[in-house]
């Protein structure tokens, strides 16, 4: 239970941090009580990451005061922060995959008399820590052989080994299955009982309601609100985050008249191989989507949604199954084949799989449709390319300085629009969008949803994959669910609710609990 009456364990006040041309934080304060799970919330770009970096000692504030345990402190570098007991667990883990659990937990602080390492002590200490949080693994197991959830527990064990008093978790649930999230919450509550405070950063507001005691919301680098979670609703938090009413958010559109079947997939199967024993399998997946229709695919992480999309697009090979486009069975062996058949894919990881971050917006936008902007079959027609960029800038309302601006400078939402423009320029018959709004803020999400409607209206068959059920419900005309590589059900939009979908996604999945 929150102990808000006592003096705060951590108190940041008046924190200001500027980067060239940008004020990332402007007089922000944050108070975390002892034995408290504190949610730090805000849209992307609100200043959360900068605040976390200051807490971790990775960056210094320009102004402001940090009081820890009653004493003013200067977090000059990450080492100082760790010495004080402030430990950050990042979204991307910082483990060495080819070293054991024990080595990772004690990396840089190996027990034993210098220069020797006491392996037995390292193993036994590690086991104590992992048992405390319910990780039942031999300390000498290589981190590579652990699941994502188990790797996260190793990170937590490492934090505990440093005698942490505040553990900061940045998006800890984003890669976990439902059962794993529950398990994580159990650990987090247990740590609270042991007297550790947790700063919990997440986009999933339901989780805030479930596990957090208090919250702080940032907006545009300033404090937008703070208080007890018990006193607020999800809608209330969203209002604080966006600073406006969002009742239009995730509103559904009219179902369009169905067109002809644009894409049909029958019996798509991709099994694990010896080379890739951790791959997610897909088994006997069949689906179809009509022109002008948006087919939603719902499922938990590891259900095989992305793998299905990648197999259809030719990004990964598959073992068996047929892909039928416009009534014709086609052979797709590479993304090139798929593109020539009129299929596009907006991949799930924008930065790793879609964008050329250092390069100009125009080259990013035209790279898949270069044959449309060349003359004499060899040279680029740059004037035509600039017109293309200008057309899509207007159509998709992309906020950018100019076509030569590096795409890496844009916000997540505008980056995603550039990726969408790349595919729209090809005039695809089928467009698969995988997590189309991951990591972009709520205003841009609504815009992307509207773009998906527009695409469907123009006759494109859209397949939308999303981990957020409200999003699947908002954009889809028809929804299929997947679990463990298989299609487990299908619902029209009119008959679907979050509860029904969740049941279809998780039914009988107890065996998956790690």
Partner 1 sequence: MAEARPGAASDNGVDLFGFLARFAPLIFLFVLMAIFSLLEPRFLSSINLFNVMRQVSITGLLAIGMTFVILTAGIDLSVGSLLAFAGLVAAAVAKGGMQDRFTVGEGGVGYGWELAALAAILVGVVGGLIQGVSITRLKVPPFVVTLGGMSVFRGAALLFAAGGPISGFEHDFTWWGQGKIGPVPVPVIIFLVFGLIAHIVLRYTRYGRQIYAVGGNPEAARLSGLNVTWIICSVYVIMGFFAGLGSFVLAARLNSAEAVAGTGYELTVIASVVIGGTSLFGGVGTIFGTIVGSFLIGVLLNGLVIMNVSSYIQQIIIGVIIVLAVAFDTFAKSRRKRV
Binding residues for partner 1, rule: CB under 8 A, are: 19-22, 24, 44-47, 49-50, 221, 313, 315, 334-336, 338-340, 345, 347, 352-359, 363, 366-368, 370-371, 374, 378-380, 382, 399-402, 405, 408-412, 422
Which pair of structure tokens corresponds to residue 227?
Answer: 């208080």
The sheet carrying 343-346 orders its strands as: 343-346, 430-434, 461-465, 294-299, 478-483, 486-492
Shortest CB 253 distance to partner 1, Å: 28
Nearer to partner 1, 176 or 323 (CB): 323
Shortest CB 98 distance to partner 1, Å: 18
Closest C-alpha to 441, from 26, 114, 8, 48:
48
Q: From the CA atom positions of the chain, what is the Rg in Å?
A: 25
Nearer to partner 1, 158 or 341 (CB): 341
Contact between 55 and 81 (Cβ < 8 Å): yes
Contact between 133 and 187 (Cβ < 8 Å): yes
Nearer to partner 1, 64 or 335 (CB): 335
Beta pairing, strands 197-201 & 37-41 = parallel
Closest C-alpha to 91, from 188, 189, 173, 204:
173
Shortest CB 135 distance to partner 1, Å: 32
Nearer to partner 1, 236 or 408 (CB): 408
Bridge partner residues of 290 (DSSP): 261
Q: Where are the alpha helices (DSSP H) in 201-329?
A: 205-211, 234-242, 305-313
All residues at 6 or more sequence positions from 272 whose CB lies less than 8 Å from its CB, including other chains: 278, 279, 281
DSSP label at 360?
Answer: B
Closest C-alpha to 395, from 455, 339, 475:
455
Shortest CB 418 distance to partner 1, Å: 12
Nearer to partner 1, 189 or 336 (CB): 336
Nearer to partner 1, 68 or 313 (CB): 313
Nearer to partner 1, 49 or 280 (CB): 49
Apex CA 430: angle with CA 426 and CA 436, to 5°?
90
Torsion angle of C-alpha atoms 296, 297, 299, 302, degrees rounded to 10:
-140
Contact between 488 and 506 (Cβ < 8 Å): no
Shortest CB 371 distance to partner 1, Å: 7
Nearer to partner 1, 18 or 269 (CB): 18
What is the distance between the alpha carbons of residues 413 and 307, in angstroms, rounded to a whole number? 24
What is the distance between the alpha carbons of residues 213 and 188, in angstroms, rounded to a whole number? 12
Nearer to partner 1, 381 or 490 (CB): 381
Shortest CB 48 distance to partner 1, Å: 9
Contact between 159 and 87 (Cβ < 8 Å): yes
Nearer to partner 1, 158 or 445 (CB): 445
Shortest CB 356 distance to partner 1, Å: 4
Contact between 217 and 51 (Cβ < 8 Å): no
Nearer to partner 1, 393 or 478 (CB): 393
What is the distance between the alpha carbons of residues 483 and 305, in angstroms, rounded to a whole number? 9
Apex CA 454: angle with CA 449 and CA 460, to 5°?
110
Shortest CB 347 distance to partner 1, Å: 6
Shortest CB 264 distance to partner 1, Å: 22
Shortest CB 405 distance to partner 1, Å: 6
Nearer to partner 1, 359 or 450 (CB): 359
Shortest CB 25 distance to partner 1, Å: 9
Shortest CB 292 distance to partner 1, Å: 24
Q: How many CB atoms lie within 10 A of CB 58?
A: 14
In sequence order, what DSSP letters do the residues of 258-289 get, joined into one string? P--EEEEEEEEEE--BTTBTTPPPEEEEEEEE
């Amino acid at each position: 239970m929150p102990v808000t009456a006592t003096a705060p364990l951590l108190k940041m006040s008046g924190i200001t941090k500027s980067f060239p041309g940008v004020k990332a934080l402007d007089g922000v304060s944050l108070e975390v009580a002892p034995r408290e799970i504190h949610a730090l919330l805000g849209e992307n770009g609100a200043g959360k990451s900068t605040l976390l970096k200051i807490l971790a000692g990775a960056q210094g504030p320009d102004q402001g005061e940090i009081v820890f345990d009653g004493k003013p402190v200067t977090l000059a570098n990450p080492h100082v922060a760790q010495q004080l007991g402030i430990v950050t667990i990042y979204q991307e883990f910082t483990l060495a995959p080819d070293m054991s659990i024990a080595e990772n937990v004690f990396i840089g602080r190996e027990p034993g008399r210098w220069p020797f390492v006491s392996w037995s002590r390292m193993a036994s200490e590690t086991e104590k820590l992992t048992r405390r949080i319910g990780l039942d693994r031999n300390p000498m197991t290589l981190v590579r052989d652990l699941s994502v959830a188990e790797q996260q527990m190793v990170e937590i064990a490492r934090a505990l080994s440093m005698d942490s008093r505040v553990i900061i978790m940045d998006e800890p649930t984003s890669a976990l299955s439902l059962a794993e999230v529950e398990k994580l919450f159990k650990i987090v509550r247990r740590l609270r009982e042991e007297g550790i405070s947790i700063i919990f950063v997440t986009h999933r507001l339901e989780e805030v309601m479930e596990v957090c005691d208090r919250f702080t919301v940032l907006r545009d680098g300033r404090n937008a609100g703070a208080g007890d979670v018990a006193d607020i609703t999800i809608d209330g938090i969203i209002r604080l985050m966006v600073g406006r009413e969002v009742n239009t958010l995730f509103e559904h559109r009219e179902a369009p008249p169905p067109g002809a079947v644009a894409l049909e997939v029958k019996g798509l199967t991709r099994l694990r191989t010896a080379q890739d024993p951790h791959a997610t399998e897909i088994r006997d997946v069949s689906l179809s989507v009509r022109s002008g229709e948006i087919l939603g695919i719902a499922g938990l992480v590891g259900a095989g949604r992305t793998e299905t999309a990648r197999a259809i697009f030719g990004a990964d090979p598959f073992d068996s199954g047929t892909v039928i486009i416009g009534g014709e069975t086609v052979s797709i062996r590479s993304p090139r084949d798929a593109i020539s058949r009129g299929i596009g894919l907006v991949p799930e990881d924008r930065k790793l799989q879609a964008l050329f971050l250092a390069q100009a917006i125009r080259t990013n936008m035209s790279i898949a449709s270069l044959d449309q902007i060349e003359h004499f079959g060899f040279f680029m027609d740059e004037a035509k390319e600039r017109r293309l960029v200008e057309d899509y800038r207007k159509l998709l309302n992309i906020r950018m300085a100019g076509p030569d601006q590096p795409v890496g400078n844009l916000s997540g939402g505008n980056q995603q629009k550039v990726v969408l423009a790349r595919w729209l320029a090809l005039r695809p018959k089928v467009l698969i969008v995988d997590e189309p709004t991951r990591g972009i803020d709520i205003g841009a999400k609504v815009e992307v949803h509207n773009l998906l409607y527009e695409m469907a209206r123009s006759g494109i068959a859209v397949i939308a994959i999303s981990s957020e059920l409200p999003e699947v419900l908002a954009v889809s005309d028809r929804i299929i669910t997947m679990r463990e590589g298989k299609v487990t059900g299908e619902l029209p939009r009119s008959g679907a609710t979050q509860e029904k979908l969740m049941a279809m996604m998780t039914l009988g999945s107890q065996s998956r609990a790690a």
